[in-house]
Amino acid sequence: MEAKTLFDKIWDAHVVKKVEGGPNVLYIDRHLIHEVTSPVAFLGLKNRGLKVFRPDKTTATPDHNVPTQDQHLSIKDELSRNQVEKLKQNCAEHGIVYHDLQSEGHGIVHIIGPEMGLTQPGMTIVCGDSHTSTHGAFGAIAFGIGTSEVEMVFASQCIMQPKPKKMRITVNGELSKGVTAKDIALYIISKISTSGGTGHFIEYAGSAITGLSMEGRMTLCNLSIESGARGGMIAPDETTFAYVKGRQFAPKGEEWDNAVAKWKELKSDDGAVFDTEYVYDAADIEPMITYGTNPGMGVGVTQSIPTSEGMEGTDKTTYIKSLQYMGYHEGDSMKGKPVDYVFLGSCTNGRIEDFRAFAEFVKGKQKAPGVDAWLVPGSKRVESQIREEGLTEILEAAGFELRQPGCSACLAMNEDKIPEGKYAVSTTNRNFEGRQGPGSRTMLASPLTAAAAAVTGVVTDPREMM
Amino acid sequence: MAYDKFSVINTPAVPLPIENVDTDQIIPARFLKAVERKGFGDNLFRDWRYEKDGTPKADFPLNNPKYSGKILVGGKNFGSGSSREHAAWAIYDYGFRVVVSSFFADIFKGNALNNGLLPVVVTPEFLQKIFDAIEKDATTAFEVDLEKQTFTITATGESAEFEINPYKKHCLQNGLDDIDYLVAMKDEIAAFEG
Ligand code: SF4
Tens of pLDDT along B150-169?
999 999 999 999 999 999 99
pLDDT of residue A416: 94
Pick from A344, A335, A460: nearest CA to A408: A344
Ligand 1 centroid–CA A346 distance in Å is: 6
Residues 6+ away with beta carbon under 8 Å from B61: B14, B15, B16, B67
pLDDT of residue B137: 97
Residue B10 belongs to what H/E stretch?
strand B8-11
| Distance, CA of B59 to CA of B57 (rounded, Å) | 6
Q: What does DSSP assign to residue A55?
A: G
Radius of gyration of chain B (CA): 17
Q: Is the confidence at residue B174, as pLDDT, over 80? A: yes
Instruction: Classify A380 in phi/psi space as left (phi over 0), alpha (psi -120 to 50) or beta.
Output: alpha
Instruction: With beta carbons under 8 A apart, name residues in chain B contacting A438.
Output: 28, 47, 52
| Distance, CA of A190 to CA of A298 (rounded, Å) | 6
pLDDT of residue B2: 61
A97 burial type by CB count under 10 A (0-12 exposed, 13-18 middle, 19+ buried):
middle
Pick from A250, A230, A29, A247: nearest CA to A123: A29
| Distance, CA of B24 to CA of A303 (rounded, Å) | 28
pLDDT of residue A74: 86
Q: C-alpha B187: how far from its chain's center?
A: 35
| Distance, CA of A211 to CA of A216 (rounded, Å) | 9
Minimal Cα distance from B179: which residue of A?
A152
| B36:A160 CB<8 A | no
The ipTM is: 0.87
Q: Is the confidence at residue A273, as pLDDT, over 90? A: yes
Of A80-84, A263-267, B139-143, the least confident: A80-84
Residues 6+ away with beta carbon under 8 Å from A26: A11, A14, A15, A16, A124, A158, A159, A160, A161
Ligand 1 centroid–CA A410 distance in Å is: 6
Ligand 1 lining (C-beta closer than 6 Å): A 63-64, 108, 110, 129, 131, 346-347, 407, 410-411, 428-429
Q: Is the confidence at residue B139, as pLDDT, over 80? A: yes
Instruction: With beta carbons under 8 A apart, name residues in chain A contacting B183.
Output: 48, 50, 155-156
Ligand 1 centroid–CA A153 distance in Å is: 21
Cross-chain CB nearest to A83 (options B35, B188, B193): B35
Q: Is the confidence at residue A314, as pLDDT, over 90? A: no
Cross-chain CB nearest to B33 (options A79, A145, A161): A79
Of A188-192, A422-426, B85-89, the least confident: B85-89
Q: Is the confidence at residue B1, as pLDDT, over 60? A: no
Mean pLDDT of chain B: 93
pLDDT band of A21, cuts 50, 70, 90:
confident
Of A120-129, A253-262, A310-319, the least confident: A310-319
pTM for the model stands at 0.93
- The answer to whether A430 contacts chain B (CB < 8 Å) is yes
- The answer to whether B148 contacts chain A (CB < 8 Å) is no
- The answer to whether A345 contacts chain B (CB < 8 Å) is no
Among B residues 28-67, those touching chain A with beta carbons less than 8 Å apart: 28-30, 32-37, 47, 52
Question: What's the average model confidence in pLDDT over A9-21?
Answer: 94
Beta-bridge partners for A289: A299
